[in-house]
Chain A
Amino acid sequence: MNRTPSTKGMHPARPECGLATTYEGGDPRLLERICPLVDYLEISPDSISQVSDERCALDPAILRELEEAAREKTFLIHGVGLSIASASGYSQEYVRLLDELFSRLPVAWHSEHLAYTMVEGEQLGTMLPPPRTQEALDMLCERVSFLRARYKVPFLLEKVVRFLPEYPGDYSEAQFLNALCRNTGCGLLLDVYNLECDHKNFGFNIEEFLRELDLENVVEMHLAGGVEYGGFQVDVHSHVTAESTLAIARKAFLRTPGIRAVTFEYLKEAIPRLGHDGICGELARLRQTLLASEACYEHAG
């Protein structure tokens, strides 16, 4: 990994930060191209699963492909379907998928969106953040502790984009995340594009959020690009990272002492649009423009 010399006045020591990208299986030519460019592959259990006989299980063909890739790469699991913030209970089906993945692949850590996708077993078809109340916090802490104990690797939570007015809760976004990390020992996945969406859609103050957030809890950063639709910046990961997003990422990156990976995230459906060359070009760009500065960062204090 390329490193630049430490800059005077900056904190000198920092864990190695790798580059990661999404891989959903079934595209061996893409895998062959991206493997030499990344340190980790990020997989989503939901996307590599299939249903047969009313039971959801990991796709055996994709699993074999990933096991082959595991000779060279370590995996990051990034889930969508856990629904950790559902008051009526999280998805047991998703936990079964996690069990299977952990038993088959080397996993550095796993993450999930701080959201609910189902209510009393019924799918919403979208992802909503929980209200930041004491009741929600207590429930989430219990669940995060369960996941940490079960899998014995770090567990990260990602703040999701919101499209609706917020419920007047007991905590600010940063305070809520800080309390979750403090109470459970979990880490954070900072999706910079999500922050930018909230900024464009609701005037969310990114700088204030980053100032209030305990940035030492950030373990992974997501970068992506999306589109504007219906007057909203939406979190479809269909484009390369915009310069504006990268500028926020650079600032945040320099203030996150514990960051271990930067991940370029894209939807499988966007691959024809991005092209294999486009994805590889973006990975090279991120390594050069973001990770090259990894040895010099501002001390979080």
Chain B
Amino acid sequence: MNTLAEYQKAMLSLIKARPTPPARDLHMAELEQSRGLELLREIAVWWRGFAVESTCPWTARLLKRLGNFETAVTEFYRGQNVSPYVTRAGEQFLFQMSAHPEPLVHAMARLELALMRVKQGSADEYIVQWDRNPEMVFQTLRSGSVLPLAETGVCYEMYISCDIPELVRCECKLF
């Protein structure tokens, strides 16, 4: 190690499991092989998962149902500068999930993100499109039964705004 700053930069790459050139000094090589490193990484992801579950419970529940929660949180932790503040971390996660390739995940993340912003005082109206009945999605997530399939010839448009009683309303539109 030349300086404290260089050492800490190397530690950041190590903890976040980012590709680094092979370790040149003995200490870094020892760290790379240590059992504690895996544990630290696991604990860091566990904490981020906890933040996600507490701030975006429906997106977390959906990802768990789809078997993607661990992977999504790990990628989120490694790829982003995740805020230590739970609400901000949740917002960052929802923002990332809003671009998820699975339409159900991105609709759910957009809904929770919109709700978060409205509750924080946003005066904007947000629209989220679902390819299946969101009511059924919530029901099955609550009950543990099978998620509904995407529907053809129909789109569910959800409006989220502080001007709407209970903040959300949904319209079913036929093509």
Contact = CB atoms under 8 A, between A and B. Distances in A.
B84 A165 contact: no
Interface residues of B, number: 39
Q: Is the interface of A mostly helix, strand, loop or mixed?
A: mixed
Nearest to B121: A52
Given A51-B88, A56-B85, A164 B31 contact: yes
Interface string B35-63: 11111101111011010000000000000
Nearest to A166: B27
A228 to B, nearest CB: 11
Contacts of B5: 87-88
B9 interface: yes
A163 interface: yes
Contacts of B120: 52-53
B48 A125 contact: yes
Contact of B77 (A87, A125, A133, A165): A125
Given A50-B87, A119-B11, A165-B30, A125 B39 contact: no
Interface string A258-294: 0000000000010000000000000000000000000
B34 A165 contact: yes
Contact of A126 (B1, B40, B50): B40
Given A51-B88, A131-B1, A167-B27, A88 B8 contact: yes
Interface of A: 46, 49-53, 56, 80-81, 86-88, 116-117, 119-126, 128, 130-131, 133, 135-136, 139, 162-165, 167-168, 201, 229-232, 234, 269
23 contacts: A46-B85, A49-B85, A50-B85, A51-B85, A51-B87, A51-B91, A80-B84, A88-B8, A119-B11, A120-B9, A123-B81, A124-B12, A125-B15, A125-B82, A126-B40, A126-B43, A126-B47, A162-B36, A163-B40, A164-B37, A165-B31, A165-B36, A168-B27
